[in-house]
Structure 1
C-alpha cells in the first residue's frame, strides 16, 4: 500500500465526517419544508454533495482519476483532450506535429514478449524535435505511476507533457514513456516479480524493447532514466538499482524504500524463507552497499516537507547511497504526498536529466 493510499484513507475519513455533519443540518432544514418541495430538493442535495465531494478530493490530491479511468484505463481520446491514439511506426510523419506544436502524446502498443504480464499500452510524449529532425535520436525517461493509479495520471496531475515541452523549448528534448505497470487502478504489484505477476520482467523484456525497436531513442546507459512518484518512486529506485547497468539516472519522488502492500508481503512474494529473501532483494535500504563494483547511476530524491514518514525513509536511503558512492541529491519542498509536490519535482528533475544527457545524436 502506497503512502498515497494511507493519506487518502485519512483524508476521506475526515471528508466523510464533515459530510455526515452537513447532512444532519440539511435533514433538519428539509423537515420544515412542504413535502413536494422535499421530494425535489432531496435528489438535488445528493447530487450536489457528490459533486462537491469530488471537487474537494481532486482539489486536495490534484489528480484522482475519473470513473472511466478507474473502470478501464486511458482509452483512445480518454478524458484528457491531449491524449491522442496513433500508430508509432515509421509512417508517423511531420503532419502530426502541425496539430501538436509542443509535441505529441501517443499510444504505444507493448506486446508480451515472454513476461506473462499480457499486452499493454504505454503513453508516450514525443518532443517537437522528434518530427522536425528525423535523423535525431533522443534520451528517454520511463515515468512510473503510483498505486492507485494509471499512466495518464502523469499527464493530468503531473503535467508531464508540459514539462516535456518546457525542456524541449530549452533545447534539451526528451522522450517520456509512461508505461502500464499494473493490471488495474487499484492493483498494487510494487513493480516486482512476485508470485502472481512479473512486473519487473514486463519492464525489462516487454516495455523497453518495444520502445527501443519502435522509437528513435538513445539506447545507451547515460541516456536512459527511470522515475516515479509514491509507489512508482519506490519502483524507480528499486528497479533502477537492480538494473543499474541499464539506467544511468534514477528519480524517486516520495517513494518508500521497501515493498509495501495493503495485505502484507504474502500477496507479493508468498511465505517462507524464499519469500523473505525476495522481499529483502527488493528493499533498497537493505541491499544498498552489497552490489560491489559496478555502475553508479546518479540519483535525484524528492519529497514533501510534511510527508514525514516518507521523508525519514528518503533521508536514510540518501545517506546509504552516498556512503556507497552513488552521486545522489535530495530535494525537500513544501507539501505532502500529492501532485502539488510531484508536479514541480518532475519539472525540476526532468530539466536536470535532460540538461545533463546527450540530447540528440544522428542516426
Structure 2
C-alpha cells in the first residue's frame, strides 16, 4: 500500500509538471527570449549610454536574414528598464510571436536623461542617431534599412518617437506613440516638461520657445514636402511613415485631446496612414500595457515587409478607422 501511494503521488506530480509545461507553451510565454542590459561609451554624450535589449527565442547572430528592430523609448524621468519591468514587453512580444501575429524581432530600449531632444541638459537626439543606432547595427544582427526599422515610445518617449519619424522618415517604416506628450502649442502646467532639465534654461525656467521649436508641429511642413508626390505619376522623395496613436480617456494631461489634434494634422498629410485607439484610464502603465499589443501589431504591418508602400495601400481602409478599446 505505501508503494501505491508513492506511485500515485509521483504520477500526480509528473502530471502537474506536464500540465504546467503545456500551459506555458500554449500561452506563448517563451522561456528562451532574453533581456540583456548593456552600456557603451557615447562620444556625443561624453559618458556611457545605457540600453536594454530583447532578443527573441533562438536569436542567431549569424542569421542569413537580418532581424527587424524596434526602438522603444521610455517616458519622462524613466529608464531603459521601464518597458521590461513595468510594460510587460517581454511577455507581450513572446506571446505575439508564439501566436504568429508578429515576427521574431530585436527590441532596443535606450535610456535618456532628456525628452529625446537636444535640450539644455544633453544632446539626446544626436546621441540616438549618431551613436546608439550605429552601435546597435554593429552589435546585433538587425536590419540596416528603413523597412526593417520601427520606433515607438510612451509619453515623452512618444514625443520623441514621433519627432524621430517626422525628422527622418527615411529611417523608419512605422511609428507608434502611446499617450504622446506632444502637447501643442505648449505642455499643460501639470506636465513634467515644466520641470524637466531638457527644457529649463540657465535660470531654471521653462523655455516655451525651445518647446515649440522641438515639438512635432515644427517638423510637419518639411515632412509633408518629403512624403508628398510632386505631380501625377511621380513618387515622393520618401514614403510616409504610418502612425499609431493611443491615449487614455481620463488622462490628466488631456492626452486624448492632443492625440486627436495630432491625428488631424497627420491625416492632412497621410490620410490613410494614421490610427488612433482610445482606452479607459489615465496617463498610466495600465493604458500603455493595454495598448502595447495593438501598437506592435500595427508596427509589423509595415516593419519587415518587402514593400511598405504596397502594404500601406492594402490596409488603408482599416488603418483610417478609429478603434475604441474597452
Question: What is the TM-score of this pair, normalised by structure 1?
Answer: 0.63
Work out the CA distance in 1 between the residues paired with 2:220 and 2:41: 33
Contact 1:193 1:200 in 2 (8 A): yes
Query: What residue in structure 1 maps to residue 87 of structure 2?
Result: 158
Work out the CA distance in 2 between the residues paired with 1:318 and 1:103: 35
Work out the CA distance in 1 between the residues paired with 2:202 and 2:167: 21
The alpha-carbon distance between structure 1 residues 123 and 102, as it changes in their structure 2 partners (threshold 3 A), is: same
The alpha-carbon distance between structure 1 residues 215 and 269, as it changes in their structure 2 partners (threshold 3 A), is: farther
The alpha-carbon distance between structure 1 residues 138 and 276, as it changes in their structure 2 partners (threshold 3 A), is: same
Which of 111, 114, 117 is the equivalent residue of 1:180?
111
Query: What residue in structure 1 maps to residue 118 of structure 2?
Result: 193
- My pick for the range that moved more, 223-232 or 290-299, is 290-299
Q: Tell me by how many angstroms 1:352 deviates.
A: 2.4
The alpha-carbon distance between structure 1 residues 355 and 248, as it changes in their structure 2 partners (threshold 3 A), is: closer
Work out the CA distance in 2 between the residues paired with 1:324 and 1:206: 31
Work out the CA distance in 1 between the residues paired with 2:297 and 2:198: 39
Query: What residue in structure 2 maps to residue 105 of structure 1?
Result: 35
Contact 1:221 1:245 in 2 (8 A): yes
Which of 216, 240, 245 is the equivalent residue of 1:284?
216
SS at match of 2:107: strand
Q: Tell me by how many angstroms 1:197 deviates.
A: 0.9
Query: What residue in structure 2 maps to residue 311 of structure 1?
Result: 256
Work out the CA distance in 2 between the residues paired with 1:238 and 1:248: 14
The alpha-carbon distance between structure 1 residues 281 and 244, as it changes in their structure 2 partners (threshold 3 A), is: farther
Q: Which runs of 5+ in 2 are unaligned?
A: 1-29, 188-192, 228-237, 307-326
Query: What residue in structure 2 maps to residue 135 of structure 1?
Result: 64
1:302 is the counterpart of 2:233: no
SS at match of 1:213: helix
Task: Return the structure number with greater helix share.
Answer: 1
Q: Deviations over 1:219-269 (max 9, x none)?
A: 211221111111111111122212222122111000122475224888456
Q: CA RMSD in A?
A: 2.6
Work out the CA distance in 1 between the residues paired with 2:49 and 2:291: 27
Between the two structures, name the one with larger relative contact order (CA 8 Å, sep ≥ 6).
1
Which of 341, 349, 352 is the equivalent residue of 2:298?
352
How many corresponding residue pairs?
251
